[in-house]
Structure 1
Amino acid sequence: MSTSSQLLSRRAFGRIAAGVAAAAGTGALSACAGGGGKPSADAPLRIMAINHVWSQAVKRRIAEFEERVGRRVSMTLLTADQLASSYNVKLNASGTDVDVMMVRALQEQLLFGHNGWLADLSDRVADDRFAWDDFQDAPREASVTGGKVLSVPVVTERPALYYRKDLVADLGGPPRTLEALMEGARELTRRKDGFYGYVGRGQRSGAVSQWSSFLYSYGGDFVVDGRSGIGSAEAVAAYEYYGRLLAGSGPPGATNMSLEQALPIFAQGKAAFFVDADAIYSSFLDPKVSRVRETVGFAPFPAGPAGAKPHNIPSWSLGINAFSRLRDDAWEFIRWAA
């Protein structure tokens, strides 16, 4: 066969492949796209959530809710990155194949609210049977975007210091100050052996939430007297501390690590200290994923120059897909789960 024939065949194949992909894509989007009419009684209530200790607990009891509403429930648990990607595809296609959405009120809710992808829950939370006032003020305020309540908070998180009990005895126990954490992490780092004194998030928004405790404990804040405070002397000192901690004691590529990359390093016994959300503690006790089950310890966030000032954030909330055809059942789930 001549070279030109081979090229022609490849081009022809490319056109055919593109046509097949386009047809498949159209079919997939049609499956996601919203349709009219009332859903059948057999249609499941579809819930998408982060794979989190809270979600796992709810999923174990989902049969209780199914009996309560008389409808089958499909609950999918994903990582944060997988969840964000899935929402992007489904909601851009006005998909009806998700009803209840677990979202981050401080992150994607702002975009989803702007795009009209979350149902307004203002009237529902105002119902006397729901007791909206029982929720903490800050998480409740974070659930409001554009003057509308778009989600109900179900998870707040604070940082915990995870440490190796078998390694800190000679250090006098877990560090109680950030200075002691820096010293201990450097002392325990053995890069040639692939062992690190500290591991933590360094990537984008995930790093901001975890770094905020360092900022507060250095006496800084994001907003000071109505203006940005991230250029203050206290904030710069917190930046420098966290940078030195990761650079001097952390694994390669630490500034590109999210929770999904940092957590396994500690769970596999390759780091001495790890500061992250208290909600992930169960990952280190699970023999299927953890080698530090017998040696992991838990301690409060260490004190900085301004004391120990850990963050407390409304990390995850429940909202309703604006394109859902099962909004009433979706709200019943939120009432039950919250």
Structure 2
Amino acid sequence: MIRSPRRRLLAGITALVTTALTATACAGAGSFTDGGGDAVTIALVSNSQMKDAISLSGQFEQQNPGVKLKFVTLSENEARAKITASVSTGGGEFDVVMISNYETQMWAQNGWLVNLSPYMDRTPGYDADDFIPTLKDALSYRGGMYSAPFYGESSFLMYNKKMLAAAGVTMPDKPTWPQVAEAARKLDKPGVSGICLRGKPGWGEVLAPLDTVINAFGGRWYDENWNAQLTSPQVKAAVQFYVDTVRQVGEPGAASSGFQECGNLLSQGQTAMWYDATSAVSVLESPDTSTIAGDVGYAQAPSMAKGDNGWLYTWSLGIPSSSTKKDDAWKFINWMTDKKYIAHVADALGASHVPPGSRLSTYQLPAYTAVSQAYAEPTLSAMTAANQLKPSLQPVPYTGVQFLAIPEFQDLGTRVSQQISAAIAGQISVDDALKQSQTYAEAVGDTYKKER
């Protein structure tokens, strides 16, 4: 579990609170759907599945007369900042917040979230045991669930089957990173990159895939005594491999490419492969957004010294302890994370809109099974194999696969990601990027050593 004391968590959010205030001053508070002053106020990330929920929320209000909803939708970075600032200070602005497995356990330990398990237990048919076990564990603290998963994801390798067949390349179900790099070299040609890998700065951008590569190569951020390891041979080999691969056979402008950019490139036939989130299937398999729908292959996250390297992530819904409408807030969370909602989405919007990766029963839903034959099994396998308690080959004092579940990681990860992105851009060497990153990591590690 998280070992950080309350004062560490409070210190870790100071920069984020400043970011929230700056974002609000510069960009406003996002998009509002106003249900009135007595409404349950819900802060959501403005991703497509969340927008679907808002479009269907009339059903909730019909089923719960007297409960009005007010939605605040924000971009991912702004949502993290504003929600963190509000919940950590007990601001009471929101009754339901969209958070992830990065925040949930830390915030539960600090008393900032309501334990949802009593609500789940007394809600007929809710079936919390139907949640994918790794997600349920990631959102639990001392036996209680403090947020409920709306959708979940791991990571895997996606590829254009026609391009690989034309090049005579066969992708194993469980490839190694050298096999992927060799395939990328064969597939790379003018106008089509061999592979797309994120290079955009951000702890949730380039570091998300790169951290799984570091894990695969046997690397880690810290040893069990909080000694920084970012200049270790394993980390150096992983980062050099990643940077070399994306610079030699990756997408143009890789240093500014993130999830959306890579998704566009693969879906439009401008890259042959992409390693990223399993949730990308909603983009790749929709004929409305993809020219390769039905022609995408899927393989497990590539391995090296370590296998089972897919990450674990979920957008989930929690109730801040400061909410004065906890019972009505739960009614909404129940509606948005229940099996019935998933079936309703399939009926109302089509199975391709179903939020994936939260419940085991989703993978038995006939409508979803029909459209997900190519990717359902790889997605479920990746999610059930992900282990955020043991992310690395060697012992570590932290949890988390593609992030470190410590308050400082939002700032530390961002700083390190900037160094890596600069190396991808060719502005600095990998060695120089890691030397500076090591300095950042040592400063954080030293504070943990003092508490031992």
State the TM-score, normalized to the length of structure 1: 0.69
Asked whether 1:121 is paired with 2:89, we answer no
Match of 1:195 in 2: 192
1:201, 1:254 within 8 Å by CA — same for their partners in 2? yes
**Alpha-carbon distance, 1:245 to partner:** 1.5
**Alpha-carbon distance, 1:134 to partner:** 6.4
Match of 1:62 in 2: 57
**Alpha-carbon distance, 1:223 to partner:** 5.0
The worse-fitting range, judged by mean Cα deviation, of 271-280 and 44-53 is 44-53
Match of 1:318 in 2: 317
User: Cα RMSD between the aligned structures?
Assistant: 4.1
Match of 2:152 in 1: 156
Q: Distance in 2 between matches of 1:314 and 1:64?
A: 28
1:125, 1:132 within 8 Å by CA — same for their partners in 2? no
Percentage of matched positions with identical amino acids: 22
Q: Distance in 2 between matches of 1:226 and 1:300?
A: 35
Asked whether 1:241 is paired with 2:241, we answer yes
Match of 2:95 in 1: 99
Q: Distance in 1 between matches of 2:290 and 2:85?
A: 33
Paired residue secondary structure (2:273):
strand
2:319, 2:329 within 8 Å by CA — same for their partners in 1? yes
* C-alpha spacing 1:125/1:92, structure 2 compared with 1 (3 Å): closer
Q: Distance in 1 between matches of 2:156 and 2:297?
A: 7
Match of 1:204 in 2: 202
* C-alpha spacing 1:267/1:217, structure 2 compared with 1 (3 Å): same
**Alpha-carbon distance, 1:252 to partner:** 3.7
Match of 2:40 in 1: 45
Match of 2:293 in 1: 293
Match of 2:276 in 1: 276
Paired residue secondary structure (1:316):
strand
Q: Distance in 2 between matches of 1:288 and 1:197?
A: 24
Asked whether 1:165 is paired with 2:161, we answer yes
**Alpha-carbon distance, 1:163 to partner:** 0.9
* C-alpha spacing 1:254/1:145, structure 2 compared with 1 (3 Å): farther
* C-alpha spacing 1:302/1:137, structure 2 compared with 1 (3 Å): closer
* C-alpha spacing 1:230/1:140, structure 2 compared with 1 (3 Å): farther
Asked whether 1:80 is paired with 2:76, we answer yes
State the TM-score, normalized to the length of structure 2: 0.54
Paired residue secondary structure (1:187):
helix
Question: How many positions carry a matched residue from both structures?
Answer: 299
**Alpha-carbon distance, 1:168 to partner:** 0.1
* C-alpha spacing 1:122/1:84, structure 2 compared with 1 (3 Å): closer
The one-letter amino acid paired with 1:246 is V
Asked whether 1:217 is paired with 2:216, we answer yes
Q: Distance in 1 between matches of 2:231 and 2:141?
A: 27
2:158, 2:298 within 8 Å by CA — same for their partners in 1? yes
The one-letter amino acid paired with 1:177 is T
Q: Deviations over 1:259-301 (max 9, x none)?
A: 2333222233221111111112111123443333254x13122
2:156, 2:310 within 8 Å by CA — same for their partners in 1? no
**Alpha-carbon distance, 1:161 to partner:** 1.3
Q: Deviations over 1:224-254 (max 9, x none)?
A: 5454554443332221221112111223442
* C-alpha spacing 1:288/1:85, structure 2 compared with 1 (3 Å): farther
Match of 2:400 in 1: none
Highest Rg: 1 or 2? 1
The one-letter amino acid paired with 1:47 is I
Match of 1:331 in 2: 330
* C-alpha spacing 1:261/1:85, structure 2 compared with 1 (3 Å): farther
What are the ranges of 5 or more consecutive residues in structure 1 without an aligned counterpart?
1-24, 33-39
Q: Distance in 1 between matches of 2:279 and 2:215?
A: 20
The one-letter amino acid paired with 1:327 is K
**Alpha-carbon distance, 1:43 to partner:** 4.2
Q: Please state which structure has a larger fraction of its residues in strand.
A: 1
1:125, 1:131 within 8 Å by CA — same for their partners in 2? no
> What does 1:12-27 correspond to in 2, within 5 Å?
none
